[in-house]
Structure 1
Amino acid sequence: MSNRELPDEDPSDSPSISPPSSNDVVVGFDEDIVQMMDRLTYQFSYLQILPIVGMGGIGKSKLAKSIYHNPFIIKHFDIRAWVTISQDYCIASILSKLLASVKGKDDRGGRDSLKGIEQVKVEIYQILCGRRFLIVLDDVWSVKAWYQVQILFPENRNGSRIILTTRLMDVATYTAPLSPIHMMRFLDDKQSWRLFQHKVFGNQDCPLELQSVGEKIVKGCGGLPLSIVTVARLLSGIPRTPKMWLQIERNDGQLETVLSFSYYHLPPHLRECFLYMAGFPENYEIRVSELIRLWVAEGFLKRQNESKSIEMAAKECLEDLIKQSLVLVTSRKSDGRTKTCRLHSMVRDFCMRQAGQEKFLLPVMDYFPNPILRRHFLPQVLQNHLRVSVSLFDLHLKDYTHSLCTTSIICIPHRGYRPKDSVQNFTSLRVLHVLRRNDHSYWELGQVFDLIDLTYLASNIPESIVPPTIAKLQNLQTLIIYRSDVHLPEEIWSLRQLRHLIAFSFQPLPLPKRENLSLGNLQTLSMATNFVCSEKIVEMIPNIKKLEICYYEDKFGEGYRIDNLMHLLRLEKLKLEMHCSFVPCLNPIFPLSLKKLELSGGWISWRDMTIVGSLPNLQVLKLKKYACYGEQWETTEGEFRMLRHLLINESNLKCWTTEYSHFPRLRCLMLRRCAYLDEIPIDIVEIPTLVLIDIDDHNPSLLYSAKIIQEEQWMT
């Protein structure tokens, strides 16, 4: 039977040594226990630190307790000790309780607590010396706490272990840089129901009349054990009727305490970034790129130094929130960076309430789920909140929907609804972001372009032609248009603050008649159709970092001046798509600053790939739809020195000759629709950094080759 239960993680506890007994039935830990037991008892003599990481209430402490009380573990280790550290710890108290624990007794404020700190340290060290020990450091919040106690644990080379539970990834990676980190998972629906049923009914089954409503309540807990047990405790104390159960909300102050503790641990700028995420709907997968641009537009972050862009600072903030277990990663890019993220439903509930209480941002549809309530309260809400997230339909309820103080609106579109003139009275608006969904919602541009304070605009537009009146938006930093074949006026070059210019596709950019116009701050241009990379254009976008170009012509000629790409000295990401019937031999010259290159269509021959391989900073290379022509690829020494990710998708490649030293940092190799390639070079197995070879099932010979390499790695 599976074992898992709620971890009784109370961050407010003082350091303690008394892990509750493991007599309770626990649910969902089978796999976790097996993995941790293997790591604890594996015949590796050196002292190992085994971190367990996850958000508050997910079960880190309970997993540690289940292992701590396991009869085999009790027999395997000579000494076991447990101390809960928490955020506001006192080192003297920790040492006193740890000493009592290694002695196998409770610390009741006796003689040990009166000893000096250095004396206690020496005594703990002497007790542990020469003996196989298991120490659990529960709820560690800082690297400093670890630094103060690590000296206590001798390297006996006898298989001693330290389990460390924490919400913070930074703490885990610092304390155990070479050890695998055990990440806690949420319970699935079946495990959640079993935990709930046990807590409410013990060994009995849930009555049939309560099962339907009970399953809905449990599903709303989102697989978080703390939330499930909190709700179970509430339901255990009231009459067991469907009517009463329907009145129970999904959480109470106990869960609020756990999450608020993590929240108040954040510095002020991280709190702002976190609270802003309440503006996105529940279970909405947020693109990191859009979140970063919104944070920057809102001014939450300050540039620390000239070497680090504000966008980079924002990315670091997101990683901090992920490490705090407040934000979930839902997908990653090929280079390992986060691509999309979201808030767990329990975390979002807290985030939403906190954002509303602090009048930071009001998610109108969550606070007023009934449209009638929104019709009544929305005008007042808009007068009292700088930032709101609201449906497009609600913004057009009445003519009096307006605000002189609202600076930011996150709009949630409704399929088939086409609003008009909805923001004409929001004269202070700086950020207008419509969530990107498959619908045809849009704003009347005549109204939007009168909002002269606007710094961020993301929306569909009624027609593909953008009028010259866009020149009014002199503060605009980000323009995102959810449409293809967008025609921009030459006035676009007058928007000197513009940093990001994005659409499904832009028609060729018109050159301005005035000589002194340029986009010196532009970092992103995507997706430009039939882009002419003339010397003049290059001079007008000198700081571009990300450029995506697509060519649609019967013939591709030299008039597009591709070689001038090499003069974009700050370009880091380049995507080139070719959809032409005839393409001459190009072999383009790329800027040395490139970190990511994606080619689609016939751009270069395999024999000329040295052009790409010699790029000193290239980390990600994606070759799609016969991007390289020919059948043989032979790499040479000194190429691809920094490459970490290589994708080949659709290729005529037959023979690939390489050595492991040609890809010294490669971590991921992906081969898709490579029908003619019979095998992966055997030297690939020697690449020390390689962690993944991903191959589809279109080529059995290639699959067999990958299995041979896998066996070789296992043998070594």
Structure 2
Amino acid sequence: MADPVISLVIERTSDLLIQKIIFLKGVRPQVERLQNDLVRMRCFLKDADQRQVEDARIRNWVSEIRAAAYDAEDIIEIFASKVEFFTKDKGLVTKLTYYPLKIVNLYKIGKEIESLQMRVNDIDDSREKYGIKNLGVGTSTHGEELQRLRRSSPISEDKDIVGFEKITKSLVAELLKEDRNRRVVSIIGMGGAGKTTLAKKVYNHAVVRERFNCRAWVCVSSSYDHKKILRSIIKQLNPKDTKDDMLSEMLEKMEEEELEERLYQDLQDKCYLVVLDDVWKEEAWDCLSRRAFPDVGTSSRLLLTSRDRDVAQHADAYRHPYELKTLGLEDSWQLFLRKALGHGDNAGCPPDLEEVGREITRRCGGLPLAITVVGGLLLAKKKLKSEWEKILNNFSTYLSRSQSGVSAILELSYADLPPNLKYCFLYLGLFPEDSVISVRKLIHMWVAEGIMQKRDAKNLEETAAYDDVEQLCSKNMVQVAKMTVDERIKSCRVHDLLRELAIRKAEDENFFQIHDTRDDKISAKSRYLAIHILPGDKNYFGSSTPPLRSLLFFNVHDYRKNISLIFKSFRKLRILDLEDLRMYSNLPKEIGKVRLLRYLNLRGTHIRRLPHSVGCLRYLQTLDIRNLEQVIVSDFIWKLESLRHLYASRMECDEPLKIEGLRNLQTLSGIWFDDIMHNNMITLTSLQKLEIIVDDRSEIDKLCVHLSEVGSLKTLHLYCYLRDESLARPQSLAGFSKLHHVTQLKLSGLHLRMLPPDFPPNLSRLSLKYTELEDDPMPVLEKLGQLSFLKLEDAWGEPHRMVISRHGFHQLKFLVLNDLYALYEMKVDKGALPQLRCLRIKDCRRLNKLPEELKHISTLDRLELVDMPEYFISRLDADMVSSVPNLRIFDLPKEGRRYL
């Protein structure tokens, strides 16, 4: 689908019509007619997409549709919000008072829709003038041309390969394993990472050529032709017959089933190796593997390359694919020298070129294809600093100049995304270069944008958004920056070159604007604006306010000026992200006029008080007021009926906090014990995560009784905050057994000397942090029958020995031991931890060695050792190293991580 922005906005307009139908009486026919016209116009977008590259008039035509779609959504939502404000939860007298205003607004929206209808008619007329036809939906001709350019062959092998030695050795060993069954070996990575180059190296390896008595190589691509691929493999298996035109003529006449049968027979008794390069779809694999490649005990292998992890795992769910990461700085530099200077190993760089050369290498972001393309450009130029600087200063231009260059390769990945993922990917372009992006924050923003509404029920929007993050990571469009021990993506980043692709596509579609120089002028048409540098001109919005939907500030810190101008006339704003914009003042009361606001992030702003007008933000879904200083809040939180997530650190209230009746609230953090006890928590029917600040006077047993009827509550975090450390005393914890619904419990800084007498009966995840336990907690914790995740961090003050007894923790899958400075010995009895999948040990300085029994736990897949002393690493048992599939050893403070 051309222009994912238009597609998504039109879908959201349809959703609005359904959601707000009760408030649109009187204008519903006009709204429906407008929406139908926009849907009809969308049918012409594919033809426009194919032709707008070379025709500025058609690009403008698409832009006009986009603006009309946005305006339609804005008109409906603003009108509906006003009518809702006039009528919802109002008494009869108030409704009668507001009735004239309702009529006036009804007349206004009628006029606005009429004007917009005329715009859409004019756009339709110009379509016919430009000759744009309805071609339906499908892959563009431009995309097919890019695919043809990517056709690979094993013949032309790149000799200048850097950084692939270890993975090549592993791949060859995997292909040669003594296993008579047919096996699939997969290589995955982002476009340009070198998957095809690596596959060629393995395919042409002398030992591999000797082992397999027949081999074939085919490039599948996203627009694969099943018959063509089958014919290609058959011809490669019959090289002598291929010289005779008879075979080619016969294969051309064969039907799909006949070709599959012929290939199956040709491979029936052979030990074959077939490379399926550039597989995009699971369907492509299914078509080939199920009927064409026999599994008859000949030790045959299929080598598959793909940008999509899901495709590789679908091909063989029992084996982890080999993932190609980007090259490190030194490997990148060595590859650059080979490509740019034509030198062999250990060749140096002219001193006057080294600085600019290393900067060019850094800009390539470790992507071999980018280094190869730029290096090839430099090889043909004079070895002058001015020539190299010219390449550096026009880096993006040179990469995109050739159709077979880096930009074209990455664009294929973008073109393959469905509209909703294209929208999500473009949104990531708003974040600054090298940003580590919180997945939780990203999910809240996407939900606030309404991206998920069409696909899932309301209470599953966050789940759908996380699935989109996973899909983008799986397709190697986004990189995982940090992952939890149980393999949930915590933060992500976008490769610099992919970010540039997102920005370029967003500019083509007028999706957003990034303000990253002081002299930039903010466009009057901007709807999504990211400010990376504060403009020099105080009146940087000019004479007209842009119709912003999202306003995001990044890496902009001290801003002591009055920011009330930001809120003036911003009626269409859905997202306002002021994180780390240190304003040192209270939030202006004008914020209450931004009535469509769904996401408000004030984290790290040093704001001391929220104005009472925030209570007017009835659509607000996420409010983040986490600051080092306490934030004073008036009695208005209960008015935020759409609120889903409230993040605070130490929120202070002028009067007792009232949160009763917030039926959409899912997350509540940084709330004082007394504020919780003053509310009837049963009314929070969607509450899932609750973080409560307690002190040494808080009665935990009463709190547990208070929360026991909150059936939706799954996660409880108790955090102890002491105003005076001298008053600290052991915390008494009781009543957890009443929390039947709680499955995740976190206890932080509670000055525990002993474990609680009981735990929630259905507890599956437990975290103890900054406690002061006197005894080994394992004899108690190992009996928690449903516990699958346990994390202990800075839990002891005195030297301790940890013992896990026979059959202890029979359901535990993830064990994390962080900063246990007093732990000097760890003992695991035979038969303990039978389900353990991952053990992570970080900075346990006194621990001498790992227990030998770990190597007998067959389920242990991952062992991570972080910041552990050298003597500990040197004492690792060789059998332990060989028995754990994924042993990772790294030091966090250092630039280079050591993987084993």
Equivalent residue for 2:638, pick from 467, 470, 493: 493
Q: Note the residue ranges of structure 1 that are not aligned, 5 or more in a row.
A: 1-8
Q: Determine helix, strand or coil for the equivalent of 2:545.
A: coil
> Deviations for 1:672-706, whole angstroms, at most 9, x for unmatched residues?
41625732322466524423242533333564568
**1:356 corresponds to which residue?**
507
Equivalent residue for 1:203, pick from 317, 324, 343: 343
**For 1:308-457, what aligned pairs fall within 5 Å after superposition?**
309-365=460-516, 369=517, 371-372=518-519, 374=520, 377-378=521-522, 381=523, 383-391=524-532, 393-394=534-535, 397-398=538-539, 400-401=541-542, 403-420=545-562, 421-434=564-577, 436-437=579-580, 439-440=582-583, 444-457=587-600
Asked if 1:228 is matched to 2:371, the reply is yes
**1:148 corresponds to which residue?**
287
CA contact (8 A) 1:58 1:224 kept: yes
CA contact (8 A) 1:17 1:81 kept: no
CA contact (8 A) 1:58 1:184 kept: yes
Equivalent residue for 1:548, pick from 691, 696, 711: 691
TM-score of the superposition, structure 2-length normalised? 0.71
CA contact (8 A) 2:515 2:533 kept: no
**1:675 corresponds to which residue?**
822
CA contact (8 A) 2:732 2:756 kept: no
Asked if 1:505 is matched to 2:657, the reply is no
Asked if 1:29 is matched to 2:164, the reply is yes
Asked if 1:562 is matched to 2:562, the reply is no
Asked if 1:622 is matched to 2:764, the reply is no
Per the alignment, do residues 605 and 96 of structure 1 end up closer, same or farther by CA in structure 2, a change over 3 Å counting?
A: farther
In structure 2, what is the Cα distance between the partners aligned to 1:443 and 1:535? 27
Equivalent residue for 2:263, pick from 124, 132, 137: 124
> Deviations for 1:372-413, whole angstroms, at most 9, x for unmatched residues?
2x1xx22xx1x1121111146229622754515112111124
**1:73 corresponds to which residue?**
208
In structure 1, what is the Cα distance between the partners aligned to 2:773 and 2:269? 61
Q: Determine helix, strand or coil for the equivalent of 2:472.
A: helix
Percent identity over the alignment? Answer: 25
**1:471 corresponds to which residue?**
615
**1:4 corresponds to which residue?**
none
Pairwise CA distance, 1:363: 1.5
Pairwise CA distance, 1:295: 0.5
CA contact (8 A) 2:582 2:605 kept: no
Per the alignment, do residues 441 and 488 of structure 1 end up closer, same or farther by CA in structure 2, a change over 3 Å counting?
A: closer
**2:865 corresponds to which residue?**
none
CA RMSD for the aligned pairs? 3.2
Paired amino acid for 1:503: A
CA contact (8 A) 1:409 1:432 kept: yes
Q: Note the residue ranges of structure 2 that are not aligned, 5 or more in a row.
A: 1-143, 723-727, 857-875, 885-900
Per the alignment, do residues 174 and 668 of structure 1 end up closer, same or farther by CA in structure 2, a change over 3 Å counting?
A: farther
> Deviations for 1:90-138, whole angstroms, at most 9, x for unmatched residues?
1100100111122347798554333332222222222222322211110
Equivalent residue for 2:736, pick from 583, 588, 592: 588
Q: Determine helix, strand or coil for the equivalent of 1:82.
A: strand
Larger radius of gyration: 2
Per the alignment, do residues 53 and 140 of structure 1 end up closer, same or farther by CA in structure 2, a change over 3 Å counting?
A: same
> Deviations for 1:52-109, whole angstroms, at most 9, x for unmatched residues?
1111110111100000001111011121111110000111001001111223477985
Equivalent residue for 1:218, pick from 350, 356, 361: 361
**1:690 corresponds to which residue?**
837
Q: Determine helix, strand or coil for the equivalent of 1:276.
A: helix
> Deviations for 1:120-174, whole angstroms, at most 9, x for unmatched residues?
2222222222322211110001110111111322223343211110001111111
**1:634 corresponds to which residue?**
779
In structure 2, what is the Cα distance between the partners aligned to 1:701 and 1:213? 47
Paired amino acid for 1:288: V
> Deviations for 1:270-327, whole angstroms, at most 9, x for unmatched residues?
1111101111100011101111111111111116444961011100011111111000
Asked if 1:244 is matched to 2:381, the reply is no
Paired amino acid for 2:837: L
Equivalent residue for 1:267, pick from 418, 430, 434: 418
Pairwise CA distance, 1:435: 5.7
CA contact (8 A) 2:644 2:667 kept: yes
In structure 1, what is the Cα distance between the partners aligned to 2:252 and 2:664? 61
In structure 2, what is the Cα distance between the partners aligned to 1:345 and 1:392? 19
TM-score of the superposition, structure 1-length normalised? 0.88
Pairwise CA distance, 1:429: 4.1
Paired amino acid for 2:718: L
**1:295 corresponds to which residue?**
446
Q: Determine helix, strand or coil for the equivalent of 1:290.
A: helix
In structure 2, what is the Cα distance between the partners aligned to 1:443 and 1:570? 35
Paired amino acid for 1:700: L
Per the alignment, do residues 304 and 503 of structure 1 end up closer, same or farther by CA in structure 2, a change over 3 Å counting?
A: same
Per the alignment, do residues 632 and 290 of structure 1 end up closer, same or farther by CA in structure 2, a change over 3 Å counting?
A: closer
Paired amino acid for 1:189: L
Q: Determine helix, strand or coil for the equivalent of 1:662.
A: coil
Per the alignment, do residues 654 and 533 of structure 1 end up closer, same or farther by CA in structure 2, a change over 3 Å counting?
A: farther
In structure 2, what is the Cα distance between the partners aligned to 1:637 and 1:240? 67
Higher helix share: 2
Per the alignment, do residues 607 and 26 of structure 1 end up closer, same or farther by CA in structure 2, a change over 3 Å counting?
A: closer
In structure 1, what is the Cα distance between the partners aligned to 2:688 and 2:176? 50
Moved more, 117-126 or 345-354: 117-126
CA contact (8 A) 1:58 1:225 kept: yes
**For 1:563-578, what aligned pairs fall within 5 Å after superposition?**
563-578=705-720
CA contact (8 A) 2:553 2:581 kept: no
In structure 2, what is the Cα distance between the partners aligned to 1:213 and 1:637? 58
In structure 1, what is the Cα distance between the partners aligned to 2:774 and 2:569? 55
**1:13 corresponds to which residue?**
148
Equivalent residue for 2:673, pick from 520, 530, 533: 530
Q: Determine helix, strand or coil for the equivalent of 1:634.
A: helix
CA contact (8 A) 2:434 2:493 kept: yes
Equivalent residue for 2:299, pick from 159, 166, 179: 159
Q: Determine helix, strand or coil for the equivalent of 2:168.
A: helix
CA contact (8 A) 1:586 1:604 kept: no
Per the alignment, do residues 517 and 563 of structure 1 end up closer, same or farther by CA in structure 2, a change over 3 Å counting?
A: closer
Q: Determine helix, strand or coil for the equivalent of 2:648.
A: strand
Q: Determine helix, strand or coil for the equivalent of 2:633.
A: coil
CA contact (8 A) 2:686 2:712 kept: yes
In structure 2, what is the Cα distance between the partners aligned to 1:89 and 1:409? 42
Q: Determine helix, strand or coil for the equivalent of 1:27.
A: coil
Per the alignment, do residues 686 and 467 of structure 1 end up closer, same or farther by CA in structure 2, a change over 3 Å counting?
A: closer
Pairwise CA distance, 1:260: 1.6
> Deviations for 1:469-528, whole angstroms, at most 9, x for unmatched residues?
222222211111241322221211111111111123323695468xx9621111111222
In structure 1, what is the Cα distance between the partners aligned to 2:584 and 2:755? 49
In structure 1, what is the Cα distance between the partners aligned to 2:265 and 2:757? 62
Paired amino acid for 2:275: V
